Structure 1
Amino acid sequence: MKTKLILFLSAVLLSAGALQAQANQECATTASLAYSDAKAKNYDAAYPRIQTLRKDCPTYSVVTYQYGERVLKHMLEKAPEGEKKAIAQDLIKLYEERLQHFPGKTKAGEVYGDIAQVMYDYKLGTPEEQYAAFDKAYQEDKDALNAKSLYTYFSLLVDLQDAGKRDLQDVFSQYDVVIAKVEEEENKMAEGLAKLIEKQEAGEQLTAKEEKMLNAYEINLKAYSTVRGSINAKLGQRADCDNLVPLYSKDFEANKSNVEWLKRAAGRLSGKDCTEDPLFFKLVEALHQAEPSAKSALYLGQLADAEGNASKALEYYNQSAELEKNPKDKARVYYRIADEYKRKGQFGQARNYYRKTLQALPSYGRAYLQIANMIAQSANNCGNTAFEKRAVYWLAADYAARAGRVDPSISSTANETAAAYRGRAPQRSDIFQQDMQGKTINIGCWIGESVRVPNL
């Protein structure tokens, strides 16, 4: 009896094993056909096989979901408007399936971000649900949202505030978070781009990989620059003095010992030049008493500026820059100091502080533009001959061009400025007559740099 039972169980196991092997073979065959079709962009043929894999072989390979995403995105592009929502819902389901079956090979934050963007693009769910989806992605991974998604994340919150479902303070708090992330990404891109530009300007040949990186940096900088402008436009008049002063006046007494609240309030009033309102003085005084810091020193500098005490203002600004840890804020203080020296005609000192600005925040293209402007203004004073004086404009043009490359938001102005300076520099006939092609000119006075004459 025992022998018969053992034989029966063995037969069952062998049968189950054979069925499993057959199922695995069928999955492998279907996957091979589906992946080949998808790789060849034959998406219509790949679609039914991908769907079969999702249903019958969901754990076969993460590649099913990678190609499945391509297939469904292609279908979304081609489908009539009335069919798009159903396909978008299936795409979201595919993302969820990948998270379920391959969590170790999936970045959850990025997938949540993809789901949120699909919900928004194809109007799935309410605005509250769409915003919650973006927030879920951001809370999972601060790097999950790309430039477009960061804007959508903020835009949805502003719309909810307009509909009376969020407070204005929620909008300001979210703005700080999103703008900080945008500027962080811009800074990363600008740092990489600046190194490659320096290599180019030194006459070194970029590798094929570096050329691709340079192109990617410039494309991404433009994308984040556009998004930054769109976010600021979306915030619009909500952040003007007429809204900010009543908002913070109302909450001042309850928060006058709250250092973080004082920093945010004073920072926003400072950023919007609401410094002449008595509230700003109250905030700065309270902040400096509670916690003397880079920010309170900056605001005291602004107050000294408003009173016409320029030397005292510079003293506070320098103190603020030395204490400041945030690169963006440090750069802004250095830029303010540089502007003050430039206004006084102290170009050497001004350049030093514009360079400090760029060390803190390489994407601060306006600093390059200001250096270009000072160099151009000094052309008549920084050369021994007429040719050398005009050659100064080549250097000014280089700085202006670099401004536009690291900060696409000012690229139009920067490129026009660079072109104008090149127009003032020696032309081909001048170079030929002076026999200066390819030679290096050392520029004296406060500039102390050199420029290479173009080859004819």
Structure 2
Amino acid sequence: MKTRFTIVTVVLLLSSMFTVKAQTLESKYGLDSAQTVLNASLYVEMVKQKNYEEALPGWRYVFQNAPAFQKTTYIKGVSIMRGMLRKTKNPKYVDTLMMVYDQRIKYFGKDRKYPEGWILGRKGGDLFNYKRKHIPSVKEAYGILKKSIEMQQLKSEAKVINYTMEASGILVKAGEIEPEEVIDNYLLFMDMAEKQKKAETKQAKIDNIENARLNVERIFFKAGVADCETLSNIFTPKFEANKDDIVLINKILRMLNRQECEDGALYAKVAERKYELEPNADAAHNLAKMFIKKKEFGKSIGYLEQAIELEEDADIKADLHYKLAYIQLSQSKLSAARSNALKAAQLRSGWGEPYILIGKAYAAYAPKYGTKPIEKKYVYWVAVDKFKKAKAVDSECAEEANNQIRTYSKHFPNKENAFFEGIKDGDVIKVGDWINETTKARLNE
């Protein structure tokens, strides 16, 4: 009570300083300046103490009688309504919360830092959070959030984008919106994230944007609207009507690639059209992926080689070399497979898969190496060396590498056969031919 008495005393002193003049609801201090200042001081103090119930009467007076007084009315109003919701679970406070946002837009919607679009994002987010189990409310929140993004563009907050994506996932399952709308949202938000990252210089903010992007992706694929058949049904008529729209073509390919739909009729048409319009590394890569998915490896090689030649991004180039190495391994072009796998490993450090591929290439060559049966077994030593290197540089490869090690270690020469060749455990052995590597002897019993 002492705090309340002190505030009242100060306010009464201050009120005597106001010049008497005509006051209206739209005036800064509302209908009664002394009452406005008094009630504002009282409720702000209560909010600081998180005593939202006692803050409510004073806040309500200012909200109703001096709506243009200060932005704090609406900032604290949100805190009060959220606090009362936590305490009472009474849905009437959600309605009041929406009124708080609406009135803030009316009186402070032109604020440069927090304009109408920003306020709508907070309003839609709260409506969605508090009524996500009520489909009509989710639909209303979704409309508010979409309007916020339309107004804010690249200034849209990550949580507003996430709420919009999550709401669209709920609405499509409820039959309230079409799958195409969810896909359009996803593509828009992915583009926005890339542009936001490019425009940002602070690493912490870049990381936040990336985390938001990954969350949007998770929400989207959880919605279950991106199977190959649905994508084909949605995008085929769009493509047929806009075959020269490279932006649309790139969006379609991005979606189909993400869902591994490279063997469908739509992918073939779109990938070939992109290659006609823009015969660049990305276009060549798309066609290569299509032929790989169809297991037409011979046709994919030329496009992969062209993509490698044109590609400037080291990480993508590493992937291209690896894919080419994989095909060459399947065609028993073992030396070429090793060469491309090594290039892949050089371009992307800490990647173990290329070394596993090299190990498999060595093991595949073992029956052709040397003239004596025991010499053929030497190759398994260098093969296992590569599997060990794979897990040493890349822990994610450890399981596969260990499986390969167990498989091929069984083929090492035994001590009896090695004895007749004068070989002991630990001896340095040179494996020649195109392999041309030095290893250490390891003998089985």
- Aligned in 2, Cα 1:221/1:243: closer, same or farther, shift over 3 Å? closer
Are 1:30 and 2:39 counterparts? yes
Helix, strand or coil at the partner of 2:297: coil
1:228 aligns to what? 217
How do 1:16-415 residues align onto structure 2 when only pairs under 5 Å count?
16=21, 23-80=32-89, 83=90, 85-102=91-108, 103-104=110-111, 106-123=114-131, 125-143=136-154, 146-181=157-192, 225-234=214-223, 236=224, 238-249=225-236, 253-303=240-290, 305=292, 306-309=295-298, 311-318=301-308, 321-322=311-312, 333-334=316-317, 336-337=319-320, 339-340=322-323, 344-345=337-338, 349-354=343-348, 370=351, 396=393
Give the drift of 1:294.
Answer: 4.9
Structure 2 residue identity aligned to 1:336: D
Q: Which piece of structure 1 moves more, 71-80 or 288-297? A: 288-297
- Aligned in 2, Cα 1:76/1:185: closer, same or farther, shift over 3 Å? farther
* Alpha-carbon distance in structure 2 between the residues aligned to 1:48 and 1:277: 64
- Aligned in 2, Cα 1:87/1:259: closer, same or farther, shift over 3 Å? same
Give the drift of 1:242.
Answer: 2.9
Give the drift of 1:275.
Answer: 2.0
- Aligned in 2, Cα 1:175/1:253: closer, same or farther, shift over 3 Å? same
Give the drift of 1:176.
Answer: 1.1
Give the drift of 1:89.
Answer: 1.1
Q: Is there any run of 5+ residues in structure 1 with no aligned partner, and where? A: 1-13, 194-212, 323-329, 356-367, 379-391, 401-412, 421-456
Helix, strand or coil at the partner of 1:139: helix
**Based on CA coordinates, which of the two structures has the bigger radius of gyration?**
2
1:181-210 deviations in Å (ceiling 9; x for gaps) = 456678899x855xxxxxxxxxxxxxxxxx
* Alpha-carbon distance in structure 2 between the residues aligned to 1:296 and 1:350: 20
The answer to whether the Cα contact below 8 Å between 2:55 and 2:80 also exists between their aligned partners in 1 is yes
- Aligned in 2, Cα 1:16/1:39: closer, same or farther, shift over 3 Å? same
Q: Is there any run of 5+ residues in structure 2 with no aligned partner, and where? A: 1-18, 327-336, 360-388, 403-445
Q: Which has the higher contact order (CA 8 A, sep 6+)?
A: 1
The answer to whether the Cα contact below 8 Å between 1:301 and 1:316 also exists between their aligned partners in 2 is no
* Alpha-carbon distance in structure 2 between the residues aligned to 1:308 and 1:31: 74
Q: Which piece of structure 1 moves more, 257-266 or 89-98? A: 257-266
Aligned length: 332
Structure 2 residue identity aligned to 1:54: F
Identity %: 20
Give the drift of 1:94.
Answer: 0.9
The answer to whether the Cα contact below 8 Å between 1:147 and 1:223 also exists between their aligned partners in 2 is yes
1:4 aligns to what? none
1:446 aligns to what? none
* Alpha-carbon distance in structure 2 between the residues aligned to 1:94 and 1:27: 17
Q: CA RMSD in A?
A: 4.4
1:209 aligns to what? none
- Aligned in 2, Cα 1:267/1:225: closer, same or farther, shift over 3 Å? closer
1:60-115 deviations in Å (ceiling 9; x for gaps) = 221222222111111111113xx1x2101111111122222223253322211111
* Alpha-carbon distance in structure 2 between the residues aligned to 1:331 and 1:121: 42
Q: Which piece of structure 1 moves more, 296-305 or 17-26? A: 17-26
1:319-362 deviations in Å (ceiling 9; x for gaps) = 5644xxxxxxx68734622643786455653245336xxxxxxx
* Alpha-carbon distance in structure 2 between the residues aligned to 1:160 and 1:62: 34
1:452 aligns to what? none
The answer to whether the Cα contact below 8 Å between 2:186 and 2:217 also exists between their aligned partners in 1 is no
Structure 2 residue identity aligned to 1:67: K
TM-score under structure 1 length normalisation? 0.59
TM-score under structure 2 length normalisation? 0.60
Give the drift of 1:162.
Answer: 4.3
* Alpha-carbon distance in structure 2 between the residues aligned to 1:331 and 1:54: 58
* Alpha-carbon distance in structure 2 between the residues aligned to 1:220 and 1:256: 33
Q: Which of the pair is proportionally richer in helix?
A: 1
- Aligned in 2, Cα 1:339/1:156: closer, same or farther, shift over 3 Å? same
Give the drift of 1:119.
Answer: 2.1
The answer to whether the Cα contact below 8 Å between 1:72 and 1:87 also exists between their aligned partners in 2 is yes
The answer to whether the Cα contact below 8 Å between 2:154 and 2:196 also exists between their aligned partners in 1 is no
